[in-house]
Structure 1
Amino acid sequence: MQTEDFEYWSSRSLNIPEQDVSSDWILETFSLRRKELRTMVAEGFISPFWREGKEFYDSTAIKTIAFILVLKRQMGVNMAGIEIILHLKKQIHWHISQTRKITRSSDR
């Protein structure tokens, strides 16, 4: 399964908006409690930003939330496991980008 396929699978039923969304949108769309959202922020999984005194999230954060909830709700992964999986996912993305750079430079 390619990385892009997994990204699609983890948020396939969610229409990810291109614009930034409020924390209220996140809570309603994902049926989350505010405490769960705060935990994701506290663990460093996502980072909100503030505009006009309100908390907002970008499309990357939305995809990460969707991914976390698939792991948690559908697969039963706990927060420690989610932390490890997200770390490994970052490493995989980094290695893929490095491989693409090497491949592009050797094609020249």
Structure 2
Amino acid sequence: PQTKSVAAFHQMNCLNHIRQSLYTAAIAATSPASEDDEDDYYASRLPALEHHWRHCLDYLRQSLMCNADITLEKIDASGEKELGSVDGWGTEHLCRDWEGLRTWTEGANRGSLLKGVGT
């Protein structure tokens, strides 16, 4: 039988990878230059991370388009919100039972479906 993984865990893994890549890039950009560029751990990691985060951004784009949340969010026309006219806070969404999904995948003969879940 073919081994498979639950897409939600792949999506969370990708989100975590993008988060780690952003932190790595921010640290590399703000760290003082070392005398030996080869010793600059964060800057040296960026090229290796690039292929994976490019995959992850596109994978998450496809996932969002496939599972588009049609919840109506309030628009703040006052211009007072720091993030713009729609920030999503205070809006109730219909969500999946994440803990139920984890419990189900941890069940008998499904532990391998959690592959990639470290988040």
Query: TM-score surpassing 0.5?
Result: no
Give the structure, 1 or 2, with the largest relative contact order (CA under 8 Å, sep 6 or more). Answer: 2
- Would you tell me which structure has more helix in proportion to its own residues? 1
Alignment TM-score, normalising by the size of structure 2: 0.27
